[in-house]
């Protein structure tokens, strides 16, 4: 198993859990990386009476799971569980898959999308606020401090957007490096395509 894949410490302050379902979308560069197999999960749900599509970045590190995802077809419906990571190169958020199960596609688009995180507040100074069609948001990161299997320290900065006004006010009372817990859903920006956690509770 890859060191980067399973390096979470078993501590309450580092809770990191994702369960999500959607449609397999293979990437053109999937075969160019030998360390992990990347693909996108197309998650569809009804939001504000409209069909919303999110393309979520997934990396598969264990060889047995790589073979499993490669055996699937484009648009196969799957359920994934895993942990969120931030890329050491770009800092972008991705889901490191722990389990992949093929399922029958449901008749509606109300699919599973659950994220639970805990760690420490990391204040993002650049572009900490923004606005989309669903309203204004405050952006911060949950910092998690872990160790790789070889003992080397690892930090992940998991980007969260807070839209709800009361939750934004609550976030404003928290200081940098203060413990924080977040539940929410995994989303992709309609503009940049960058993945983030949309906060539901804080």
Mean pLDDT of all residues in 3-12: 44
The pLDDT of residue 34 is 67
What is d(CA 143, CA 128) in angstroms, rounded to the nearest whole number?
Answer: 15
pLDDT of 14 over the 50 cut: yes
pLDDT score, position 84: 96
Give the three-class secondary structure for 164: coil
Secondary structure E strands in the chain: 16-26, 37-47, 50-60, 77-86, 93-102, 113-123, 129-132, 135-147, 153-162, 179-188, 195-201
Q: What is the pLDDT of residue 110?
A: 61
Give residue-wise pLDDT tens across range 35-82.
899 999 999 877 767 778 899 999 999 999 999 999 999 999 999 999
Looking at residue 7, what is its pLDDT?
44
Q: What percent of the chain has pLDDT over 70?
A: 86
- The per-residue pLDDT for range 114-161, each reduced to its tens digit, is 999 999 999 998 888 999 888 899 999 999 988 766 678 889 999 999
pLDDT in tens, 178-196: 999 999 999 998 877 899 9
Distance of alpha carbon 172 from the chain centroid: 23
pLDDT (tens digit per residue) in 70-122 = 999 999 999 999 999 999 878 899 999 999 999 987 766 567 899 999 999 99
Q: Is 173 exposed, middle or buried (0-12, 13-18, 19+ CB in 10 A)?
A: exposed
pLDDT in tens, 161-177: 999 999 999 999 999 99
| Bridge partners of residue 198, in order along the sequence | 161, 185
3-state secondary structure at position 67: helix
């Amino acid at each position: 198993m890859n060191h980067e894949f399973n390096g979470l410490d078993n501590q309450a302050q580092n809770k990191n859990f994702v369960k999500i379902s959607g449609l397999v979308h293979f990437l053109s560069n999937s075969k160019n990386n030998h360390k992990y197999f990347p693909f996108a999960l197309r998650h569809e749900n009804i939001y504000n009476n409209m069909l919303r599509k999110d393309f979520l970045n997934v990396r598969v590190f264990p060889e047995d799971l790589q073979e499993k995802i490669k055996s699937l077809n484009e648009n196969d419906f799957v359920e994934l569980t895993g942990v969120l990571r931030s890329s050491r190169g770009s800092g972008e958020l991705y889901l490191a898959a722990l389990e992949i199960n093929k399922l029958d596609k449901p008749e509606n688009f109300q699919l599973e999308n659950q994220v639970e995180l805990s760690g420490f507040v990391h204040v993002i100074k650049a572009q900490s606020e923004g606005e989309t069609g669903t309203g204004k948001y405050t952006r911060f990161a949950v910092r998690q401090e872990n160790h790789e299997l070889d003992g080397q320290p690892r930090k992940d900065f998991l980007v969260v957007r807070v839209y709800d006004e009361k939750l934004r006010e609550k976030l404003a009372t928290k200081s940098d490096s203060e413990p924080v817990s977040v539940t929410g859903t995994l989303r992709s920006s309609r503009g940049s395509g960058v993945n983030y956690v949309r906060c539901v509770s804080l």
